[in-house]
Structure 1
Amino acid sequence: MPDVPVQFRWLLSPEQRNLPLPAYASALASGMDVAAATSGEAVVLQPGEIHLIPTGFAAAVPEGFELQVRPRSGLAVKHGITVINAPGTIDADYRGEIKIGLINLGQKPFTLRRGDRIAQLVLAPVCRACLHLVDSLDQTERGSGGFGHTGL
Protein backbone atom coordinates (compact mmCIF):
# COMPACT_ATOMS: atom_id res chain seq x y z
CA MET A 1 0.00 0.00 0.00
CA PRO A 2 1.34 3.43 -0.86
CA ASP A 3 1.80 5.94 1.94
CA VAL A 4 -0.04 9.23 1.42
CA PRO A 5 1.15 12.17 3.55
CA VAL A 6 -1.60 13.75 5.66
CA GLN A 7 -0.77 16.78 7.77
CA PHE A 8 -1.98 16.50 11.36
CA ARG A 9 -2.28 19.19 14.01
CA TRP A 10 -3.14 18.90 17.68
CA LEU A 11 -5.67 21.49 18.82
CA LEU A 12 -5.09 20.62 22.48
CA SER A 13 -2.74 22.32 24.91
CA PRO A 14 0.54 20.45 25.47
CA GLU A 15 -0.65 19.10 28.84
CA GLN A 16 -3.85 17.71 27.22
CA ARG A 17 -1.97 15.84 24.47
CA ASN A 18 -1.86 12.61 26.43
CA LEU A 19 -3.91 10.86 23.76
CA PRO A 20 -2.58 8.48 21.13
CA LEU A 21 -2.29 9.71 17.57
CA PRO A 22 -4.74 8.05 15.17
CA ALA A 23 -3.03 4.76 14.35
CA TYR A 24 -3.42 1.51 12.47
CA ALA A 25 -3.86 -1.42 14.87
CA SER A 26 -2.23 -3.92 12.52
CA ALA A 27 0.02 -3.97 9.46
CA LEU A 28 -2.85 -4.47 6.99
CA ALA A 29 -5.58 -2.47 8.75
CA SER A 30 -7.35 0.00 6.47
CA GLY A 31 -8.61 2.26 9.23
CA MET A 32 -6.79 4.25 11.91
CA ASP A 33 -8.32 4.06 15.38
CA VAL A 34 -9.29 7.46 16.79
CA ALA A 35 -9.50 8.31 20.49
CA ALA A 36 -12.05 10.51 22.25
CA ALA A 37 -10.66 13.84 23.46
CA THR A 38 -13.47 14.52 25.89
CA SER A 39 -12.81 16.62 28.96
CA GLY A 40 -12.06 14.79 32.21
CA GLU A 41 -15.69 13.73 32.74
CA ALA A 42 -17.11 10.58 31.21
CA VAL A 43 -19.84 10.90 28.58
CA VAL A 44 -22.81 8.59 29.06
CA LEU A 45 -24.69 7.82 25.86
CA GLN A 46 -28.23 6.81 26.73
CA PRO A 47 -30.08 4.48 24.32
CA GLY A 48 -31.07 6.50 21.26
CA GLU A 49 -28.87 9.44 22.25
CA ILE A 50 -26.44 11.20 19.89
CA HIS A 51 -23.24 12.98 20.97
CA LEU A 52 -20.62 14.83 18.97
CA ILE A 53 -17.28 13.68 20.40
CA PRO A 54 -14.16 15.83 19.97
CA THR A 55 -10.86 14.33 18.81
CA GLY A 56 -8.65 17.29 19.64
CA PHE A 57 -7.03 17.42 16.21
CA ALA A 58 -7.40 18.73 12.68
CA ALA A 59 -5.97 17.30 9.47
CA ALA A 60 -5.15 18.53 5.98
CA VAL A 61 -6.43 15.80 3.68
CA PRO A 62 -4.65 15.90 0.31
CA GLU A 63 -6.62 16.97 -2.76
CA GLY A 64 -8.22 13.94 -4.42
CA PHE A 65 -8.80 12.16 -1.09
CA GLU A 66 -11.25 12.12 1.80
CA LEU A 67 -11.06 10.76 5.31
CA GLN A 68 -14.00 8.45 5.93
CA VAL A 69 -15.24 8.21 9.51
CA ARG A 70 -16.41 4.66 10.19
CA PRO A 71 -17.68 2.78 13.25
CA ARG A 72 -15.48 0.40 15.19
CA SER A 73 -16.98 -3.06 14.79
CA GLY A 74 -16.48 -4.05 18.44
CA LEU A 75 -18.38 -1.02 19.74
CA ALA A 76 -21.15 -1.55 17.21
CA VAL A 77 -21.65 -5.29 17.73
CA LYS A 78 -21.12 -5.46 21.49
CA HIS A 79 -22.74 -2.17 22.55
CA GLY A 80 -24.73 -0.72 19.63
CA ILE A 81 -22.43 2.33 19.43
CA THR A 82 -22.00 3.53 15.86
CA VAL A 83 -21.25 6.61 13.78
CA ILE A 84 -24.55 8.39 13.10
CA ASN A 85 -23.72 9.38 9.50
CA ALA A 86 -21.53 6.39 8.65
CA PRO A 87 -19.43 6.75 6.77
CA GLY A 88 -18.86 10.39 7.58
CA THR A 89 -16.65 12.40 5.24
CA ILE A 90 -13.84 14.78 6.07
CA ASP A 91 -13.30 16.76 2.86
CA ALA A 92 -9.90 17.86 1.58
CA ASP A 93 -10.74 21.53 2.16
CA TYR A 94 -11.88 21.17 5.81
CA ARG A 95 -9.40 22.40 8.43
CA GLY A 96 -11.46 22.42 11.62
CA GLU A 97 -11.49 19.94 14.48
CA ILE A 98 -12.52 16.46 13.45
CA LYS A 99 -15.44 15.38 15.60
CA ILE A 100 -17.21 12.04 15.64
CA GLY A 101 -21.00 11.84 15.78
CA LEU A 102 -21.87 8.74 17.81
CA ILE A 103 -25.28 7.23 18.50
CA ASN A 104 -26.23 4.53 20.99
CA LEU A 105 -28.45 2.03 19.15
CA GLY A 106 -28.10 -0.41 22.05
CA GLN A 107 -30.51 -1.02 24.89
CA LYS A 108 -28.22 0.08 27.75
CA PRO A 109 -26.39 3.31 28.58
CA PHE A 110 -22.79 3.32 27.37
CA THR A 111 -20.01 5.19 29.18
CA LEU A 112 -17.32 6.79 27.05
CA ARG A 113 -14.08 8.04 28.61
CA ARG A 114 -11.25 10.21 27.40
CA GLY A 115 -8.83 8.13 25.34
CA ASP A 116 -11.38 5.43 24.39
CA ARG A 117 -11.11 4.39 20.76
CA ILE A 118 -14.39 5.55 19.24
CA ALA A 119 -14.11 5.31 15.44
CA GLN A 120 -11.84 4.61 12.50
CA LEU A 121 -10.52 6.97 9.86
CA VAL A 122 -9.98 5.57 6.37
CA LEU A 123 -8.12 7.63 3.77
CA ALA A 124 -9.86 7.05 0.44
CA PRO A 125 -9.46 8.41 -3.10
CA VAL A 126 -12.29 10.53 -4.46
CA CYS A 127 -13.55 10.82 -8.03
CA ARG A 128 -15.69 13.79 -9.03
CA ALA A 129 -18.73 13.18 -11.21
CA CYS A 130 -19.28 15.14 -14.40
CA LEU A 131 -23.05 15.02 -14.94
CA HIS A 132 -24.51 14.92 -18.46
CA LEU A 133 -28.20 15.67 -18.93
CA VAL A 134 -29.84 13.16 -21.30
CA ASP A 135 -33.39 12.39 -22.44
CA SER A 136 -33.21 8.68 -21.58
CA LEU A 137 -30.92 6.19 -19.87
CA ASP A 138 -29.69 2.87 -21.23
CA GLN A 139 -31.75 -0.16 -20.23
CA THR A 140 -30.50 -2.78 -17.73
CA GLU A 141 -31.86 -6.08 -16.47
CA ARG A 142 -32.73 -4.49 -13.12
CA GLY A 143 -34.31 -1.39 -14.62
CA SER A 144 -36.07 0.69 -11.98
CA GLY A 145 -36.39 -2.14 -9.42
CA GLY A 146 -35.91 -0.64 -5.94
CA PHE A 147 -34.77 -1.91 -2.56
CA GLY A 148 -35.68 -5.55 -1.98
CA HIS A 149 -36.87 -6.14 -5.55
CA THR A 150 -34.83 -9.35 -5.81
CA GLY A 151 -36.18 -10.86 -2.56
CA LEU A 152 -34.47 -11.56 0.76
Structure 2
Amino acid sequence: MRNRGFEVINSYKDKNISLPERKTSKSAGYDIEAAADAILKPGKVTIIPTGLKAYMNDDEYLGLHMRSGMSVKNALSFINSQGIIDADYYNNSDNEGHIMLGIINHGQEDFIIKKGTRVAQGIFYKYLMIDGDNNNKGQIRQGGIGSTGV
Protein backbone atom coordinates (compact mmCIF):
# COMPACT_ATOMS: atom_id res chain seq x y z
CA MET A 1 0.00 0.00 0.00
CA ARG A 2 1.31 3.44 -0.94
CA ASN A 3 1.05 6.22 1.63
CA ARG A 4 2.89 9.21 0.20
CA GLY A 5 5.42 10.05 -2.44
CA PHE A 6 6.25 11.80 -5.68
CA GLU A 7 5.80 10.88 -9.34
CA VAL A 8 6.75 12.54 -12.61
CA ILE A 9 3.72 13.84 -14.54
CA ASN A 10 3.10 12.29 -17.94
CA SER A 11 4.12 15.31 -20.04
CA TYR A 12 7.54 15.38 -18.32
CA LYS A 13 8.33 11.62 -18.41
CA ASP A 14 11.01 12.11 -21.09
CA LYS A 15 12.58 15.26 -19.54
CA ASN A 16 14.95 13.64 -17.03
CA ILE A 17 13.12 14.84 -13.90
CA SER A 18 14.61 13.83 -10.55
CA LEU A 19 12.30 12.60 -7.82
CA PRO A 20 12.71 14.64 -4.62
CA GLU A 21 14.88 13.23 -1.89
CA ARG A 22 16.10 14.21 1.56
CA LYS A 23 19.79 15.11 1.59
CA THR A 24 20.55 13.97 5.16
CA SER A 25 19.07 11.42 7.55
CA LYS A 26 17.59 14.21 9.72
CA SER A 27 16.25 16.42 6.90
CA ALA A 28 12.50 17.08 7.12
CA GLY A 29 12.18 18.34 3.56
CA TYR A 30 12.45 16.62 0.20
CA ASP A 31 14.42 18.83 -2.19
CA ILE A 32 12.45 19.77 -5.31
CA GLU A 33 14.18 20.85 -8.51
CA ALA A 34 13.14 23.21 -11.28
CA ALA A 35 12.04 21.23 -14.34
CA ALA A 36 13.08 23.97 -16.78
CA ASP A 37 15.32 27.01 -17.07
CA ALA A 38 13.70 30.29 -16.03
CA ILE A 39 14.58 33.96 -15.77
CA LEU A 40 13.13 35.67 -12.70
CA LYS A 41 12.65 39.37 -13.41
CA PRO A 42 12.97 41.89 -10.55
CA GLY A 43 9.67 42.56 -8.81
CA LYS A 44 7.85 39.92 -10.88
CA VAL A 45 6.33 36.54 -10.12
CA THR A 46 7.49 33.63 -12.25
CA ILE A 47 5.83 30.21 -12.27
CA ILE A 48 8.42 27.43 -12.21
CA PRO A 49 7.32 23.93 -13.27
CA THR A 50 8.59 20.96 -11.29
CA GLY A 51 7.33 18.15 -13.54
CA LEU A 52 6.10 16.44 -10.37
CA LYS A 53 2.92 15.45 -8.62
CA ALA A 54 2.53 14.16 -5.06
CA TYR A 55 0.27 11.52 -3.59
CA MET A 56 -0.59 11.28 0.10
CA ASN A 57 -3.21 10.15 2.59
CA ASP A 58 -6.53 12.03 2.71
CA ASP A 59 -5.66 13.76 6.03
CA GLU A 60 -2.31 15.10 4.78
CA TYR A 61 -0.98 17.91 2.63
CA LEU A 62 2.38 18.71 1.11
CA GLY A 63 3.85 22.00 2.33
CA LEU A 64 6.19 23.67 -0.16
CA HIS A 65 8.91 25.89 1.25
CA MET A 66 11.61 27.91 -0.49
CA ARG A 67 15.04 26.52 0.32
CA SER A 68 16.55 28.94 2.83
CA GLY A 69 19.87 29.34 1.01
CA MET A 70 18.07 30.09 -2.25
CA SER A 71 15.85 32.65 -0.53
CA VAL A 72 18.34 34.49 1.68
CA LYS A 73 21.27 34.59 -0.73
CA ASN A 74 19.21 35.68 -3.75
CA ALA A 75 16.27 37.73 -2.36
CA LEU A 76 13.68 35.23 -3.62
CA SER A 77 10.50 33.94 -2.00
CA PHE A 78 7.30 32.14 -2.81
CA ILE A 79 4.59 34.69 -3.56
CA ASN A 80 2.24 32.87 -1.15
CA SER A 81 4.95 32.22 1.50
CA GLN A 82 4.16 28.50 1.66
CA GLY A 83 2.56 26.41 -1.04
CA ILE A 84 -0.06 23.88 0.04
CA ILE A 85 -0.74 20.83 -2.11
CA ASP A 86 -3.92 19.05 -0.99
CA ALA A 87 -4.37 15.30 -1.31
CA ASP A 88 -7.09 15.72 -3.96
CA TYR A 89 -4.75 17.75 -6.19
CA TYR A 90 -3.13 14.46 -7.26
CA ASN A 91 -4.39 13.21 -10.65
CA ASN A 92 -7.26 15.68 -10.85
CA SER A 93 -9.02 15.82 -14.19
CA ASP A 94 -7.62 19.12 -15.48
CA ASN A 95 -3.89 19.09 -14.73
CA GLU A 96 -2.79 15.72 -13.29
CA GLY A 97 -1.64 17.53 -10.13
CA HIS A 98 1.43 19.27 -11.57
CA ILE A 99 3.24 21.09 -8.75
CA MET A 100 4.19 24.63 -9.80
CA LEU A 101 6.20 27.14 -7.77
CA GLY A 102 5.28 30.85 -7.81
CA ILE A 103 8.53 32.70 -7.07
CA ILE A 104 8.99 36.46 -6.70
CA ASN A 105 12.35 38.13 -7.22
CA HIS A 106 12.81 40.87 -4.59
CA GLY A 107 16.19 41.83 -6.03
CA GLN A 108 17.08 44.45 -8.60
CA GLU A 109 18.57 42.16 -11.25
CA ASP A 110 17.39 39.16 -13.23
CA PHE A 111 17.99 35.85 -11.49
CA ILE A 112 18.49 32.75 -13.62
CA ILE A 113 17.31 29.34 -12.45
CA LYS A 114 18.67 26.40 -14.40
CA LYS A 115 16.83 23.10 -14.83
CA GLY A 116 17.83 20.84 -11.96
CA THR A 117 18.39 23.66 -9.45
CA ARG A 118 17.02 22.64 -6.04
CA VAL A 119 14.57 25.47 -5.46
CA ALA A 120 12.07 24.19 -2.90
CA GLN A 121 11.61 21.58 -0.26
CA GLY A 122 8.44 19.64 0.34
CA ILE A 123 7.33 18.44 3.77
CA PHE A 124 4.32 16.19 4.30
CA TYR A 125 2.02 17.25 7.15
CA LYS A 126 -1.04 15.82 8.92
CA TYR A 127 -3.93 18.22 9.53
CA LEU A 128 -6.93 18.29 11.85
CA MET A 129 -10.57 19.16 11.17
CA ILE A 130 -13.03 20.94 13.44
CA ASP A 131 -16.08 19.29 15.00
CA GLY A 132 -18.98 19.09 12.57
CA ASP A 133 -16.84 19.64 9.48
CA ASN A 134 -18.67 18.38 6.43
CA ASN A 135 -15.71 16.98 4.54
CA ASN A 136 -17.95 15.04 2.14
CA LYS A 137 -19.41 17.97 0.22
CA GLY A 138 -19.28 15.99 -3.00
CA GLN A 139 -17.12 18.52 -4.81
CA ILE A 140 -14.34 17.14 -6.96
CA ARG A 141 -11.24 19.24 -7.56
CA GLN A 142 -10.57 20.22 -11.13
CA GLY A 143 -7.64 22.36 -12.15
CA GLY A 144 -4.43 23.85 -10.88
CA ILE A 145 -3.43 26.97 -8.97
CA GLY A 146 -6.52 28.63 -7.50
CA SER A 147 -8.83 25.82 -8.63
CA THR A 148 -11.03 25.85 -5.51
CA GLY A 149 -12.24 29.39 -6.25
CA VAL A 150 -12.06 32.74 -4.52
Pairwise same-fold verdict (TM > 0.5):
yes
1:83 touches 1:119 (CA, 8 Å); kept in 2?
A: no
CA RMSD, 1 decimal? 1.9
Shift, 1:9, TM fit: 2.4
Aligned residue pairs: how many? 125
Match of 2:127 in 1: 126
Matches of 2:50 and 2:63, distance apart in 1 = 15
Normalising by structure 1, report the TM-score.
0.75
Give CA-to-partner distance per residue, 1:96-138, whole Å, 9 cap, x none.
Answer: 111111111122210011111111101011111237xxxxxxx
The 3-state SS of whatever aligns with 1:119 is strand
Shift of the alpha carbon at 1:7? Answer: 4.1
- Which sections of structure 1, spanning at least 5 residues, go unmatched? 132-152
State the match for 1:145 in structure 2. Answer: none
- TM-score, scaled relative to structure 2: 0.76
1:21 maps to what in 2?
A: 19
Choose 1 or 2 for highest CA Rg.
Answer: 1
Instruction: Please tell me the residue identity of whatever aligns with 1:9.
Output: E
Instruction: Specify the code of the residue in structure 1 equivalent to 2:14.
Output: E
For structure 2, the residue ranges without an aligned partner over 5 or more in a row are 91-96, 133-150
Percent sequence identity over matched residues? Answer: 34
1:49 maps to amino acid: K
Mapped partners of 1:62, 1:71: distance in 2:
23
Secondary structure of 2:26's partner? coil
